[in-house]
Amino acid sequence: MLDVCPPALLACPRCGTGSLDLAGEAFACGRCTTHFPILGGVPWLFAAPSVALGEWRARFGRSVREHEDELRAATGALKTLTPGSPAHARLTHWANAQRAQPKLLDELLLPMLDPQGNAALETYLALRTRLPPEQGLVTYAANLHRDWAWGDEENGASLSAVRDAFADRKPTKLLVLGAGACRLAYDLHMAFDCERTAALDINPLLLYTAARVCDGNDVALWEFPLAPRASLDCAVLRTLHAPIPARAGLHVVLADGRQPPFAAGAFDAIVAPWYLDIVQEGVVASVQRINRLLAPGGVWIAFGSLTFGGADPVDRRGIDEVVECIAANGFTRPQCAEHDMPYLCSPASRHGRRERVLTLRADKGTECDQAPTTNALPDWIIDGKAPIPASSAFQREAATTRIHAFVMSLIDGRRSLADIAAVLEQQRLLSRTEAEAALRTFLTTMYDESRRSRGL
């Protein structure tokens, strides 16, 4: 088991200033008294750890239910196919993978799971257990296979680019911010013989798997390529393993990079692979947070392609704007280099590509303004004891949900769209014309979603 991150590097992500001390199987803040559990050797250092744990448990449950529904769909389809046909062989293989993957996930994530958790998929959907796509439990599962199964060319190119950016500097206390499946963190820790390397990510599947692999264990997981090269490449059982077990001093930390659980100046180097591309906050705030975590003279290396797709159009910055932003927030003017390298080129998929990846290095010169505090959840969500405010938004959602449920109750296998529109008109909810148009849009959305989720 990898060592737990030492308290000297940490600060409370909830109050922002309290120091953390080990208290049994948890870290405890001496200022706000929040306890952060250590589950299976992995610390949960989210600002609201119980909320984060509950959400990830629900997402795990939803993922398992989806595999079970895929299995039911495949089993039903097999009854219509001729045994020995290519389609029958493919669906048999697919069904076996769907049957096996939940057991493998359960074994990996057992330390964080709720033994009482067994809700139906519909419950998770109704309660909107839906992350943005970049933060789903298995959205980045391909990175696990890239990092620890077939991605030697990409992994080597990434390490080479980051090592070149360090030039003559050798980090001793390194943070990899948005470490994902942790191969780059592992490679840097081993290459530089770092005293401490903290690998932070928000996703427990990535970090629990990485912790086991870096500790010298093999991990079996099924890969589901987006564009299989052959029929049976639709599901490929991989064995994930590290070249050798990680040296002491490599730590994995489950946390949100927007509320990093580290003391100011804790690191002399930070590497942020694809972090600015993915994190849901503005570039200025991210730069200011990174500045705070670095010791004077520390090195920051950003690595990625700088995706131009933020929700705020002001923050869809080109590289020239990002350079100016970094230089204006306590860093030397960044040095930039581009590298052409493969990206997620699974041998079982046609979906891989090559990318022009940017490596950007900046050295910390001065302190800068502190980043704004990320909005915390209110106490009536965190502790669950205070009354839920009957806000206008909640009341509107309640009314919408009641109408939604009423319309769904009218779908009984006998009524037509026109019949349901007539009921809505009788209830004085909409005119006949409005009802038919609204129902057509509503049913089209439901139909499209059911097809995308294979009938769920």
pLDDT tens for each residue of 83-98: 999 999 999 999 999 9
Query: Which residue would you say has higher pLDDT here, 432 or 187?
Result: 187
On the question of pLDDT at 119 being above 60, the answer is no
| Residues 20, 198: Cα–Cα separation, whole Å | 16
Q: H-type helices in 149-196, by residue range?
A: 152-166, 183-192
Give every CB contact of residue 401 below 8 A, 6+ residues apart in sequence.
none
CB 225 within 8 A of CB 234: yes
Separation between Cα atoms, residue 170 and residue 163, nearest integer Å: 9
HEC states along 124-153? HHHCCCCCCHHHCCCCCHHHHHHHHHHCHH
pLDDT for position 313: 82
In this prediction, residue 349 has a pLDDT band, given cuts at 50, 70 and 90, of very high
Extract the tokens encoding 443: 């049913």
Whether 247 contacts 216, CB under 8 Å: no
Is 245 in contact with 215 (CB distance < 8 Å)? yes
pLDDT score at 306: 80
8-state DSSP, 420 = H
Structure token pair of residue 290:
């990174």
Tokens of 249: 């001093």
Of residues 205 and 118, more confidently modeled: 205
Q: Which of 1-10, 37-46, 352-361, 443-452 has the lowest mean pLDDT?
A: 443-452
pLDDT tops 80 at residue 19: yes
Quote helix, strand, coil % in the chain, to nearest 5. 45, 20, 40
Which of the four pLDDT bands, split at 50, 70 and 90, describes residue 452? low
Buried b (16+ CB within 10 A) or exposed e, 270-289: bbbbbbbbbbebbbbbbbbb
What share of the chain in percent tops pLDDT 70? 91
Q: 304: left (phi > 0), else alpha (psi -120 to 50), else beta?
A: left
Q: How far apart are CA 253 and CA 42, in angstroms?
A: 6
Give the position of tokens 């590289």: 319
Higher pLDDT, 317 or 75: 75
Of the candidates 368, 196, 366, the one whose C-alpha atom is nearest the C-alpha of residue 298 is 366
pLDDT of residue 376: 55
Using pLDDT thresholds of 50, 70 and 90, give the confidence band for residue 362.
very high
Q: pTM for the whole thing?
A: 0.85
| Phi, psi values for residue 105, rounded to 5° | -65, -40
The reported pLDDT for the residue numbered 195 is: 98
Q: What is the pLDDT of residues 130-169, one digit of tens each?
A: 334 446 789 899 999 999 999 999 999 999 999 999 999 9
**DSSP track, 392-410:** HHHHHHHHHHHHHHHHHHH
Predicted confidence (pLDDT) per residue in 248-297, tens digit: 999 999 999 999 999 999 999 999 999 998 888 889 999 999 999 999 99
Taking the C-alpha atoms of residue 324 and residue 12, their distance in angstroms, rounded to an integer, is: 31
Question: Quick one: pLDDT at residue 447?
Answer: 84
pLDDT at 46: 93
- Specify the pLDDT at position 377: 60
Domain ranges in the chain are 62-132, 135-363, 399-456
Q: What is the pLDDT of residues 308-335, one digit of tens each?
A: 666 678 878 889 999 999 999 999 999 9
Spatial separation of the C-alpha atoms in residues 275 and 178, rounded to whole Å:
6
DSSP 86: H
Mean pLDDT, rounded, of the chain: 90
Q: How buried is residue 5: exposed, middle or buried, by Cβ count under 10 Å (0-12/13-18/19+)?
A: buried
Q: Which residue has the tokens 């001065």?
A: 366
Chain-centroid distance of CA 170 in Å reads: 29
Question: What's the chain's Rg over C-alpha atoms?
Answer: 25
- pLDDT-derived band at 174 (thresholds 50, 70, 90) equals very high
Q: How confident is the model at residue 129 (pLDDT cuts 50, 70, 90)?
A: very low
Amino acid at 370: Q
Average pLDDT over residues 16-35: 93
**Each residue's pLDDT tens digit, 401-414:** 888 889 989 999 99
Identify the CATH homologous superfamily for domain 135-363: Vaccinia Virus protein VP39 (3.40.50.150)
- Average pLDDT (99-106) is 97
Token readout for 18 is 């309290």
Across residues 199-206, what is the average pLDDT? Answer: 97
How many CA atoms are closer than 13 Å to the CA of 373, on its beta-carbon side? 9
Chain centre to alpha carbon of residue 381:
22
Signed CA dihedral, 273, 277, 279, 283: sign only: positive
